[in-house]
Chains A and B, each alone.
Chain A
Amino acid sequence: MADNNQSDVMKEETPILEVSNLYVNRSNSSVIEHADFTIHRGDYVGIVGPNGGGKTTLILALLNILPRTKGTIRLFGQNIESFSDWEKVAYVPQHAVNFDPNFPLAVRELVSLGRVNRGNMGRTLKRNDWKAVDEALDFMGISDIAKKRIGQLSGGQKQRVFVAKALVRNPEIIFLDEPVVGVDASTQEKFYKKLSDLNVERGITILIVTHDLTAVFCRMSKVMCINKWVNVAEITETLEPEEVLRKAYGEHFHFVFHGHECRRVFEDE
């Protein structure tokens, strides 16, 4: 119990991501306004909200890819401007799976690109890099397609390959932007299960943009609702999903949530 208290204190002291009073504009219109939130190590956060609500914009701002109008972002306790440990951060963008299918890359080659960074510029990848690549392939259960061309992969395989590419960096935090679009329900479930394993077994903090609300409330520890403003809520037994979501999606929104869906997800495992 004492250990738990200590870890709770640690959790409070060392947020992995701190955002305060963040405003982001795109094409001269305000997309994110007055965002204040904190993400702790080991959080598994589902980012939800209507289309055009600013989910992707927020992620791009958090990664310092998009400039912000005002506010501060601290990653691993450092100001985003001076942050340099990008190896700790992985990002699987929305467009990742929409690559040119004729691009001549084998799965293992693509995953190895995750090891390319400023630190090893101009040097060939070493044996330990390739070992990390093979481990990531193994963890994602795609070792058997290592030599396959990426243009020949199914939707589900593409997702796993890109998460393996993100994993091969040994990141401490992963951002995923709608990775399950266009994939069947069963493959989606397996994918979320794999992410849960990453979160639990490796302690990797995960922020994932998704429209799969059941997955969010069954598997994740926090829900981040975005519709210009940002609201982060801890997912607990007492949290009323509909109440949280209506703020983002509007009063006409009806969330049909069946408790047994969660049970089914966990029973399968």
Chain B
Amino acid sequence: MNAGGFSKMNELVEIFRLLEFQFFQHALLGGTIAALACAWVGLFLILRKEAMIGDGIAHTAFGGIALGMFLGVNPILTSLVVSVLAVLGISYMRRKGLAQSDSAIAVMLAVGFSAGLIIISLAGGFNVELFSFLFGSILTIDQTDLVIVSILGISTTLMLGIFYKELLSITFDEEDARLMGIPVRPLSLAFNLLVAITIVLSIKVVGVILVVALLVLPGLSALQLNLSFKGTTLAAIGIGILSMTTGVLLSAIYNVATSGVIVFTAAAIFLFTAIYRRLE
């Protein structure tokens, strides 16, 4: 066996050794929950042609993180409150005709992000913890974070599971869904709140800047496979979890930024599926 072979063996041993550590178990578990929720919510977002609402809410959540750090409260909780307010704000502006969907998202993004900047400057500037929310810090997920991520993740997947067929009906043909007595507006608002929750629970994993990739890439990859809706949903979730675990392991082996590797893995899978579709 050559030196390269030994090196690979050592890497494998290293991975198994890492799996024994609690912080690594937290990372994989938290990451898997986030990947599952993001992929499922993200598929609906893509099909509703609202992927940018994910980016908008993520940037608005930054204001909530800054507020949490300023007040000394868990930033995940404050960003959850701010994100929910952002969703309600976007919905209000659209309903009242104050702004179209994309403009309303842009307004909320700008207000949330600039509020974050103001709070940070009041608090005395950037620090390491803030960077961990901006770019993700999956390896620092502690017990409290994991409990919050689990509760939010399970609530989101439960809600999606319960109202799966209604959301599909609204996504495919809103007018028909309305005719069948499905409460389209409340369900659409509830769905956007799920988007906010999903983003917040993923912030610790990939950070506010890259969370949109975790929302969009698994669903986009699954769509290339030409499957049924059930098949596409399962494929998106599978691809999301695969990107997450592969990304965490690769980043541990090569000692590079975890969130970057997770997103890069998801992008590579998208590339492969796109090539597969071309060749099909």
Does B230 interact with chain A (Cβ within 8 Å)? yes
| CB contact list, B198-240 vs A, under 8 A | 222-223, 226-232
CB of B182 within 8 A of CB of A125, answer no
Chain B residues lying within 8 Å of A96, measured Cβ to Cβ, are 173
Secondary structure class of chain B's binding surface, majority of residues: helix
Chain B count of residues within 8 A CB distance of the other chain:
28
CB of B172 within 8 A of CB of A124, answer no
Complex-state Cα separation, A43 to B68, whole angstroms: 65
Chain A residues lying within 8 Å of B222, measured Cβ to Cβ, are 104
Interface-side segment among B7-15, B123-131, B163-171: B163-171
Secondary structure class of chain A's binding surface, majority of residues: loop
Chain A residues lying within 8 Å of B231, measured Cβ to Cβ, are 104
Interface-side segment among A30-38, A105-113, A187-195: A105-113
CB of B178 within 8 A of CB of A65, answer yes
CB of B173 within 8 A of CB of A122, answer no
CB of B169 within 8 A of CB of A122, answer no
Does B177 interact with chain A (Cβ within 8 Å)? yes
Chain B residues lying within 8 Å of A15, measured Cβ to Cβ, are none
Complex-state Cα separation, A122 to B173, whole angstroms: 18
Does B181 interact with chain A (Cβ within 8 Å)? yes
Tell which of B166, B173, B178, B229 touches A109, judged by Cβ atoms closer than 8 Å: B229
Complex-state Cα separation, A156 to B271, whole angstroms: 35
CB of B232 within 8 A of CB of A104, answer yes
> In the complex where A105-B172, A113-B172 touch, is A89 in contact with B179 (Cβ < 8 A)?
yes
Complex-state Cα separation, A105 to B172, whole angstroms: 9
Chain B residues lying within 8 Å of A93, measured Cβ to Cβ, are 173, 175-176
Does B47 interact with chain A (Cβ within 8 Å)? yes
Does B162 interact with chain A (Cβ within 8 Å)? yes
Q: Quick one: which of B47, B173, B182 has the most chain A CB within 10 A? A: B173
